[in-house]
């Protein structure tokens, strides 16, 4: 099995699913090369509905070169309202053309302003703000330039064989909409490991999972130092020097946190906030270190623990592959979830609230469901309520957690660090349509993914390049 890029192995991704050489190439040469459209999961009420019961306007915005947070800030400023009254279902990349949903509370539909590089459509009213994940998935249209296009078809064919999980071939699926995506003739069912992408952990400095693992072990001091110190080679010289100074002070009996704060670049405001608390508290107790870590916003506190869970998940998936356990079909002891019955047509979306353990004769029954895209093998995002699998899948899960020094009870944590856990499909299945432009050394891919899955885990199989370039 082909080994993953060295940077990917830092976040638990050990393997590629296809052995064919990659195409290389460049993504996002221009925003139009990367198009993302949210697959919506909400049906708003008409605009004429009583605003008292439905105070939030549901808005669809097509953005060109806008970061989601920056657009929300620009929209709230233009409307003269608090940024807290604007919410969205998913965060999108700035270097793309994106179509996504926002909700805006207590605003007249006629008050929406014109904003450069943004087309805004008010769809109707909803009774609550949008929450992260309030979408069925995302549809992508991506163009790869400066690529070796010759392997594209072979990569697709190999990933197509992985749908059945045993290397056997399944029939290709004709596209239901000839105008949907860059390919005109057909789409092909493919499958890849449902890894958490490298960007989940920090694209250039993947340390959020290191922080989260320390938190789960109750190592508050180590958690802070993993985030504030711990220099990475991809960082600017002044940042590396500041982090190295932090590491030096941590070894001293009388650390100079004031000096560390003075050296930390102003743009690193979360690191500066932690150092400020260390300087103010002045002691070296676990409570002081936890207080320093809690200087960051609550969503980042949750992200630390979520990243630790994601890293453990990636390791479990990689260990399954190393042991030769299939991802596309269950073996005895696996926990299998069913597909979401309300997902849009053609979107393979797991419903992890509906699970069943595959045992005895149920293994073959569940395998047939998985082959048809009606069910998925899962692995844990470990938390306090996690029940590990039985059989060899359970052995894999326990071995990885033992190596990381974790048990489910470790996630019984204070405040935003607490997590009950859930399960996640180990296989990501989709239909890919491709179009090769050999004259331009370019190719296009179109596909749809359920919310929570990463386009980069499919793209990495095609490009086989550094995750920094995805």
Q: Which residues are catalytic, by number?
A: 93
**116 Cβ contact partners less than 8 Å away, ≥ 6 residues apart:** none
**E strand residue ranges, 127-193:** 135-144, 188-193
**168 Cβ contact partners less than 8 Å away, ≥ 6 residues apart:** 161
**56 Cβ contact partners less than 8 Å away, ≥ 6 residues apart:** 87, 103, 104, 105, 125, 126, 127, 128, 129, 130
Instruction: Check if the beta carbon of residue 356 is closer than 8 Å to that of residue 370.
Output: no
Instruction: Count the helix, strand and coil residues of the chain and give each as a percent rounded to the nearest 5.
Output: 35, 20, 40
| Closest-CA residue to 152 (of 348, 466, 432, 451) | 432
Q: Output phi, psi for 446, to 5 deg.
A: -130, 140
Is residue 44 classed as helix, strand or coil in its secondary structure? coil
Tell me the C-alpha distance between 277 and 273, whole Å.
Answer: 6
Instruction: Check if the beta carbon of residue 408 is closer than 8 Å to that of residue 120.
Output: no
Structure tokens at 59: 């808005």
Q: Is 116 left (phi over 0), alpha (psi -120 to 50) or beta?
A: beta
Q: How far is CA 169 from CA 119, 165, 172, 318, 459, in A?
A: 43, 10, 9, 23, 22
Is residue 134 classed as helix, strand or coil in its secondary structure? coil
Tell me the C-alpha distance between 431 and 421, whole Å.
Answer: 29
Q: Is 25 left (phi over 0), alpha (psi -120 to 50) or beta?
A: left
DSSP codes of every residue in 257-297: HHHHHHHS-TT-HHHHHHHHHHHHH----HHHHHHHHTTS-
Rounded to a whole number, what is the largest CA-CA distance in the chain? 69
Tell me the C-alpha distance between 449 and 346, whole Å.
Answer: 10
Instruction: Check if the beta carbon of residue 108 is closer than 8 Å to that of residue 116.
Output: no
Instruction: Tell me, rounded to whole angstroms, the distance of Cα 41 from its chain centroid.
Output: 19
| Closest-CA residue to 189 (of 168, 206, 209) | 168
Instruction: Check if the beta carbon of residue 296 is closer than 8 Å to that of residue 274.
Output: yes
């Amino acid at each position: 099995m082909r080994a993953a890029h060295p940077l990917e192995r830092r976040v638990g991704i050990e393997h590629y699913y296809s052995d064919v050489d990659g195409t290389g190439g460049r993504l996002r040469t221009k925003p139009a090369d990367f198009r993302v459209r949210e697959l919506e999961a909400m049906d708003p009420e008409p605009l004429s509905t009583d605003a008292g019961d439905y105070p939030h306007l549901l808005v669809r915005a097509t953005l060109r070169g806008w970061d989601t947070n920056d657009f929300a800030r620009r929209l709230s400023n233009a409307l003269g309202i608090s940024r807290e009254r604007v919410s969205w279902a998913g965060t999108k990349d700035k270097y793309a053309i994106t179509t996504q949903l926002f909700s805006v509370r207590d605003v007249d539909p006629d008050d929406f302003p014109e904003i450069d590089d943004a087309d805004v459509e008010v769809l109707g009213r909803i009774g609550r703000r949008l929450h992260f994940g309030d979408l069925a998935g995302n549809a992508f249209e991506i163009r790869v330039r400066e690529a070796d296009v010759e392997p594209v078809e072979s990569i697709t064919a190999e990933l197509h064989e992985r749908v059945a999980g045993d290397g056997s071939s399944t029939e290709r699926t004709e596209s239901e909409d000839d105008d949907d995506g860059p390919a005109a003739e057909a789409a092909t069912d493919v499958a890849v490991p449902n890894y958490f992408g490298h960007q989940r952990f920090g694209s250039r400095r993947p340390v959020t999972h290191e922080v989260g693992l320390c938190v789960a072990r109750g190592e508050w001091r180590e958690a802070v130092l993993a985030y504030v110190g711990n220099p990475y080679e991809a960082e600017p010289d002044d940042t590396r020097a500041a982090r190295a100074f932090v590491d030096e002070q941590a070894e001293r009996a009388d650390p100079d946190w004031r000096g560390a704060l003075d050296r930390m670049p102003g743009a690193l405001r979360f690191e500066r906030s932690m150092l400020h608390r260390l300087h103010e508290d002045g002691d070296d107790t676990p409570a002081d270190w936890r207080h320093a870590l809690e200087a960051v916003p609550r969503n980042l506190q949750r992200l630390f623990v979520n990243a630790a869970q994601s890293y453990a998940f990636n390791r479990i998936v990689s260990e399954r592959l190393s042991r030769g356990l299939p991802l596309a079909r269950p073996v005895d002891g696996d926990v299998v979830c069913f597909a979401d019955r309300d997902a849009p047509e053609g979107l393979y979306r797991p419903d992890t609230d509906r699970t069943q353990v595959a045992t005895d004769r149920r293994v073959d029954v569940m395998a047939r469901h998985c082959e048809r895209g009606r069910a998925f093998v899962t692995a844990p995002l470990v938390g306090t309520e996690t029940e590990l699998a039985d059989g060899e899948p359970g052995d894999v899960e326990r071995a990885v957690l033992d190596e990381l020094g974790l048990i489910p009870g470790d996630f019984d944590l204070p405040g935003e660090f607490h997590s009950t856990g859930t399960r996640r499909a180990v296989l990501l299945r989709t239909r890919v349509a491709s179009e090769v432009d050999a004259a331009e050394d370019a190719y296009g891919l179109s596909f749809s993914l359920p919310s929570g899955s990463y386009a980069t885990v499919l793209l990495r199989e095609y490009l086989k390049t550094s995750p920094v370039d995805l």
